[in-house]
Amino acid sequence: MAEQKRVCLVTGERGFLGTHIMKEALGQGLEPRGLGEIRLPGAEIHELVRSVNPDVVVHLAGPASVASSISDPRDDFVGTVSGTASLLEAVRLYAPRARFVYASSAAVYGAVEHLPISEDAPIRPISPYGYHKAMAEQLVEEAAKIFGLWTVTARIFSAYGVGLHRQVVYDLCVKASRGQSLILDGDGSQSRDFIHVKDVVRALLLLVERGQGRGERYNVASGVETSIGALGKLIAASFGVDAPRFSMQGRAGDPPRWRADMSRTASLGFVCEVPIEQGIGETAEWVRAQC
């Protein structure tokens, strides 16, 4: 008799990470089920969790824009904090043995003083988006420490790849594919820790299997600092266009530099497999086929 697959409930399954998780989960002995964006009354979320009775919950749903969180902080709060609270309560009541992975963001760190950034670094968010992610993380920790649920938080850094129709990698690829000038905020020295979606998904599913489940946090990144200037040159070269120019003006809510300390996640066996040159090449081909 074939072994019964564990049911994996995925919120935000139609989003960038969600579509990749749904596909990869099938190959990991999981039966993926979608729950949507969880902007539902609490009773409906409870009924959905009760009816599915998941073994695993991967919580990806919620707003994903720093700029939007600044223009409409209430909406960001409702989508991030209230939605997470409702989902955790449903899991507590109807699936208390499920393994719960929350996809948070490196935005909780804000403007850091030291690199690389470990999970024990002080959190100093500089946008409503970052503050609300930090609040949701506290709910995830509370669920473990007070109610005994199995929970972990993944602090995802700058994810990119096929299927993401926003943020700097996609925006630059679209402009380059159309032969437009590449003009970037700042002076090019700002940096990010980019991680390809394939590696993000691998890390999230690894946390399901090997995380401690005590409400702890794990960085999900490549551990490599890439300047925005270097990123722009890499994308320009992929499309054969001129190197980027810079506005010399920063953008509200954006920290200057990021690079993750990956020691904790690496201790579980995680190794980043997609170098940025390969990832940008794949993304460029995808955008070129679209435009």
The encoded tokens of residue 216 equal 């702890």
Residue 152 placed within a domain? yes
CATH number of the domain that residue 204 is part of: 3.40.50.720
CA distance 108 to 110: 6
CA distance 47 to 93: 10
Residue 23 placed within a domain? yes
The string of pLDDT tens digits covering residues 146-155 is 999 999 999 9
* pLDDT score at 39: 74
Residue 25 placed within a domain? yes
Residue 104 placed within a domain? yes
- Mean pLDDT score, 103-113: 94
* pLDDT score at 276: 97
- Please tell me the total count of domains within the chain: 1
Segments forming the whole domain that contains residue 43: 6-162+194-223+259-273
* pLDDT score at 247: 83
SS3 content of the chain, % helix, strand, coil (to 5): 45, 20, 35
Structure confidence at residue 255 as a pLDDT band (50, 70, 90): confident
- Mean pLDDT score, 260-267: 98
Q: Are 56 and 32 in contact (CB under 8 A)?
A: no
Residue 2 predicted with pLDDT over 70: no
**Residue corresponding to tokens 């074939």:** 2
The string of pLDDT tens digits covering residues 179-191 is 998 988 888 889 9
Residue 244 predicted with pLDDT over 60: yes
The string of pLDDT tens digits covering residues 122-133 is 999 999 999 999
Give the H/E segment covering residue 124: none
Average pLDDT of the chain to the nearest whole number: 93
Residue 111 placed within a domain? yes
Residue 253 placed within a domain? no
Write phi, then psi, for 207 (nearest 5 degrees): -60, -35
Residue 3 predicted with pLDDT over 90: no
* pLDDT score at 1: 44
The encoded tokens of residue 105 equal 């963001």
Structure confidence at residue 176 as a pLDDT band (50, 70, 90): very high
Q: Which residue has the higher pLDDT, 243 or 265?
A: 265
Q: Which residue has the higher pLDDT, 15 or 3?
A: 15
* 131, HSE (Cβ side, Cα atoms, 13 Å): 11
* 6, HSE (Cβ side, Cα atoms, 13 Å): 18
Residue 98 placed within a domain? yes
Looking at the chain, the whole-number percentage of residues with pLDDT higher than 70 is 97
Residue 109 placed within a domain? yes
Q: Are 86 and 57 in contact (CB under 8 A)?
A: no
